[in-house]
Amino acid sequence: MTTSAMRDCFERALALEGILRDFYRKAALEFSHEESVFRFLQALAADESCHIAVLEAARSRTEDPLFDAPDMRDLLSRIEVLDARLRGETSKPYADFNELYLRITALETSEINNIFEILTTGILKDPGDSGPMRDLIKDHILRVTDLGKRLDRSARLKMLSRPLPRGPAD
C-alpha cells in the first residue's frame, strides 16, 4: 500500500517531468527555423512524455494493497531540493542554442533521472523490470550528451553561435 510521502514523491516527480517536457516543447518552437535543433528538442520532449507514462504506471503499482511501501521521506526531501532548482533553470531566458544546450545538460545530469529510476525500479523491488528502465534513461542521456552523433560538425558550429530569431517565448 502507498503512503502519503510516496504519493507526494510521485506527484512531484511527475510534475518535474512535465516541466521538462514543456520546456523542451517550447524551446523546439523557438528553434523551428533550424530543422536539426527542432528535431533534437522535439525528441527530448517525447522522451519526457514517455517518462511520465512510465512513472504513472509505476505509481499505479504502488497503489496495490499488497505493495509494501518503503520509507520515502528522504527521497521526498531530495525531490523538493531538485524541484526548486529545476523550476529556476527552466524559467531563465537563454540567448542562443549554446546557452540552451548547457542548460539542458545541467538539467539532465541533475538528480531527476536518479529519482526516476528509484521510483520506477528501486522501490518496486522487481529486478526483472529494472533493465528496460535503465536503458530508457541511458538512451535519453545519450541523446543529450552525444549531440555529435546526431548532428554533423558544421551544423553544430553554426548552431552554437546562432542567436534566437527573437527573444525566448514567455
C-alpha cell at 129: 523490470
Number of residues that bind Fe ion (CB under 5 A): 3
CB closer to Fe ion out of 22 and 74: 22
Q: End-to-end alpha-carbon separation of the chain, Å?
A: 41
CB closer to Fe ion out of 17 and 34: 17
The rounded distance, in Å, linking the Cα atoms of 150 and 88 is 28
CB closer to Fe ion out of 51 and 59: 51
Are the C-beta atoms of residues 119 and 58 closer than 8 Å to each other?
yes
Hey, how many other C-beta atoms are within 10 angstroms of the C-beta on 67? 14
Q: Which of 27, 34, 51, 97 binds Fe ion (CB under 5 A)?
A: 51
Least separation in angstroms between CB 164 and Fe ion: 24
C-alpha cell at 116: 526516476
Element holding 11 (H helix, E strand):
helix 4-30
CB closer to Fe ion out of 3 and 110: 110
- What 8-state DSSP symbol labels residue 164? P
Least separation in angstroms between CB 68 and Fe ion: 26
Least separation in angstroms between CB 17 and Fe ion: 5
- Please give the residue whose beta carbon sits closest to Fe ion in the complex: 51
Binding track over 10-49 against Fe ion, x by CB under 5 A:
-------x------------------------------x-
CB closer to Fe ion out of 14 and 155: 14
The rounded distance, in Å, linking the Cα atoms of 139 and 145 is 10
The rounded distance, in Å, linking the Cα atoms of 62 and 9 is 12
Least separation in angstroms between CB 34 and Fe ion: 23
Residues near Fe ion, by CB under 5 A:
17, 48, 51
